[in-house]
Amino acid sequence: MMDCPFCQIARHQAPAQIVYEDDRTVAFLDINPVSRGHTLVIPKGHYPDLFELSPGDWQAVALTAQRVAKAIKAGLGAEGLNLLQSNGPVAGQVVFHFHLHLIPRYRGDGLRLGHRSPYREQDFPETARRIREAL
C-alpha cells in the first residue's frame, strides 16, 4: 500500500531506526516506546493483520522476533520481554500493517500490561467447543 507508513519504512521511503532487516522482514524501534528498546517486527509484504498474514511471512516474523529479542536481551540487559500483537481497532491496532511488538522488560520498570476480566469456569467447555468446531 502506498500510504501505509510501515510499507514506506520497509521500502526505505520513511525514516526509522532499523535494527535488523532480511529479505522478508524489517525490525525497527517504535517511535512511541513503552520501554527502552521497544521494537516492531513487520513483514515486508503488506498484510493488514494476523488474519490476512501468510504462513510463510508469519514464520519469517517469528524467526526475526526471536533473533532481535535475543539481541535486545544481550545488548540492553533486558531481564524479560513481552510480545504484543493487536488485530483490529477494538484490540487497539492503530497501524493496519501486521506488526509484532517486542517490549523489553527491566526489573522495577513498573509496566503493567492489561487487566484480567472475570471468567466463569463453566464457560470454558463451551468456549473451547466453539473454537474447535471453527478449526
Instruction: Report domain extents, the chain.
Output: 5-134
Q: What are the φ and ψ backbone dihedral angles of 80, each rounded to 5 degrees?
A: -165, 180
Q: What is the pTM of this model?
A: 0.90
Query: Could you confirm whether 115 is annotated as catalytic?
Result: no
Q: By CB neighbour count within 10 A (0-12 exposed, 13-18 middle, 19+ buried), where does 120 fall?
A: exposed
Separation between Cα atoms, residue 89 and residue 93, nearest integer Å: 5
Q: Which CATH architecture has domain 5-134?
A: 2-Layer Sandwich (3.30)
The per-residue pLDDT string of the chain (135 residues; one tens digit each, 9 = 90 and over) reads 669 999 999 999 999 999 999 999 999 999 999 999 999 999 999 999 999 999 999 999 999 999 999 999 999 999 999 999 999 999 999 999 999 999 999 999 998 877 667 777 778 888 878 888 988
Separation between Cα atoms, residue 79 and residue 104, nearest integer Å: 8
To 10 degrees, the CA torsion angle through 68, 71, 75, 79? 90
Which of 38, 97, 99, 101 is catalytic? The answer is 99
